Amino acid sequence: MKLYYKPGSCSMASHIVLNEIDQPFDLDMVNTEKGTTETGVNYREINPNGYVPSLLTDTGEIITENPAVLQYLGDLAPESNLVPANGTIERTRLHEILNFVSSELHKAYGPFFSGETLSPSARIKVETGLARRVGFIESELLDGRQFLLGADFTVADAYAFVVLNWSEFIEFDLQPWPSVKDYVKRIGQRPSVTKAMITEGLIKDH
């Protein structure tokens, strides 16, 4: 398998899950501005939309869009409990949270990475919307669960961690949401997560 990725972006969720399932894979870093990969490939030929992640499977198929890539990888290792079984209500709950992270939480961080400087009033407006989405994650964790779906780490946690961890880079304080803050810290200590972050150059290997 080969993961087309951009350091620190949402594709890191797939990188984390690849580490979790412990199967061999290659990485090819994408320069989304230039539309080329580290190995010199025209990335638009891999993914016409030009964004990451994209996964080249062992059978030669290309899978795009985070929720699809994450579930495909989780299904490769059912014993890992990274995804609930198909046809169960638990799998439906996974779809719910993946869709929320993708369409609501992820997009709420988007304005901070647009390349344009936010005015003070614009930042307040964007932060208000972001706070509402982070508040939803907080409400899900208030019952004391360790992970978004309960007792097991799933692909949803990999994705949610990556997005919520952007808070540090945009100086958005998670202090008002103590359950979320603890969640991000806890997941950040998983070996699969630290390995991905070291590989992508986000933290140093001690």
Distance from chain centroid for Cα 128: 22
Within the chain, how many helices (H) and strands (E) appear? Answer: 8, 5
pLDDT category at 206 given cuts 50, 70, 90 is low
pLDDT category at 22 given cuts 50, 70, 90 is confident
Tell me if the pTM is above 0.85.
Answer: yes
Cβ neighbours, 10 Å, residue 165: 19
Amino acid identity, residue 176? Answer: P
pLDDT digits (tens, 9 = 90+) for 172-204: 999 999 999 999 999 999 999 999 999 999 998
pLDDT digits (tens, 9 = 90+) for 54-106: 999 999 999 999 999 999 999 999 999 999 999 999 999 999 999 999 999 99
pLDDT category at 141 given cuts 50, 70, 90 is very high
In this predicted structure, the answer to whether residue 127 has a pLDDT above a threshold of 70 is yes
145 against 116, higher pLDDT: 145
- The two three-digit tokens of residue 49, written as one number: 């939309």
In this predicted structure, the answer to whether residue 132 has a pLDDT above a threshold of 90 is yes
